[in-house]
Amino acid sequence: MLEEHFTPAAVRLRLCKSQPGPFNWLLLPGGPGIGSESLAGLAACLDVPGAIWLVDLPGDGSNVALPPADECYRHWPKVLLEAAQALPNCIYVGHSTGGMYLLSVPELEDHICGLVLISSAPDAGWRERFGEMVSDNPLPAVESASHRFETCRSNETLRELTLAAAEWNFTPDGLAAGRRLLATLPFNLAAVDWSESNFEAQYTAKWWPRATPVLILSGSEDRIVAQNCWESSHFRDKNVTWTKIDCAGHFPWVEQPSAVAAAFSDLARVILERHSKTDEEHKKAS
C-alpha cells in the first residue's frame, strides 16, 4: 500500500518513491480515465532528488471514493493547484492530457519550480491529426471493439477498446510491454466522458512558463499526439528544453526508459542549481 494523502477537494497523492533531495515530483496521468498507475513505470525508471508522487484528480482512475461522482468533476482541472500547494518545491509532470490540464491552470506558475510535459500539446490541434492517422492506419480490432463499446459503454469495454488500439500507442518493440501496462489500468469511463464534453475539443493553453524550467519530452514515433506542435518559437525560450526520444511512442518510458531518465536527470540538475542559488541569496539577504 502506497502512502497517500488527499487535498481538500480529494486530489489523491500517493508516494511512489523517495530519495534525498528537496523536490516533490508530481506525476499526473494522461487519458483521462487510466489513472496514475499508468505512470508507475515512469517513476520506477527515474533517479531524481526528492519524492515522486502519483497524482489523481478526484473521480479519475481509481480515485473514486470521495467526493460523490456528481460533484468531483466541477473542480477539474483547476483543483490541480491544491496538490502543488500541499508540498514544497513541486515539479509537475503531465503525460498527454495531463499536461494539457496543467497548461490550463495559470495559477500553477507561482507554485512550481519545474514543469515536464510528456507526449502533450499546447492546443486541441492534435485531435485533427490524430483523426487523420486513424484513417490512414485502420486496425480491424479497433473497429470491432468500437462497436462493442458503443453498444455497451462501460469501463470494461473501454479497456477492450484501448487494448485494441495499443498498436497506435507503442512502437513494435514496445507493443508487448505496452499491452501489459494497459491491461492493468483502472479505466474510468466517467472521467473520459467529462473530459470529452467539457475540455478536449476547446482546449488551448492558458499559460506558458517564462522563467520556470520546462522539459518537453516527445517520442519520435508518437502517433497519438503529434509532437510537431512544439516547433513554434513561442516554446523556444531559454528555460525550455525539448528532448525527442528516438524509437519511442506515446508512452516513451516504456520503450526507452534510460533516455527518459537521462532527460529528467538533466532537468533536475538545472532546477537544483537554481534552488541552491536562491537559497544562497536568501541567506545573504537575511
- CATH number of the domain within which 137 lies: 3.40.50.1820
Q: What are phi and psi of 245, to 5 degrees?
A: -95, 110
Determine the pLDDT at residue 10: 92
Model pLDDT for residues 40-90, shown as the tens digit of each residue: 999 999 999 999 999 999 999 999 987 666 678 888 999 999 999 999 999
Owning domain of residue 236: 4-285
% of the chain exceeding 70 in pLDDT: 95
Strands 112-118 and 214-219: parallel
Q: What is the mean pLDDT of residues 204-228?
A: 97
Lookup result for grid cell 462497436: 147
For the segment 220-270, what is each residue's pLDDT rounded down to a tens digit?
Answer: 999 999 999 999 998 989 999 999 999 999 999 999 999 999 999 999 999
pLDDT of residue 277: 72
Non-local (6+) Cβ contacts of 45 within 8 A are 253, 257, 258, 260, 261
Count CA within 13 A, CB hemisphere, residue 230.
23
Question: How do residues 96-145 score in pLDDT, each as one tens digit?
Answer: 999 999 999 999 999 999 999 999 999 999 999 999 999 999 999 999 99
Closest CA to 267 of 88, 9, 21, 6: 21
Distance of CA 52 to the CA centre of its chain: 14
Q: How far is CA 9 from CA 5, 63, 184, in A?
A: 11, 12, 27
Residue 284 confidence class, pLDDT cut points 50, 70, 90? low
- pLDDT tens for 139-187 read 999 999 999 999 999 999 999 999 999 999 999 999 999 999 999 999 9
Pairing of strands 24-28, 90-95: parallel
Number of domains in the chain: 1
Residue, of 91 and 276, whose pLDDT is higher: 91
pLDDT of residue 1: 63
Residue corresponding to grid cell 497517500 = 4
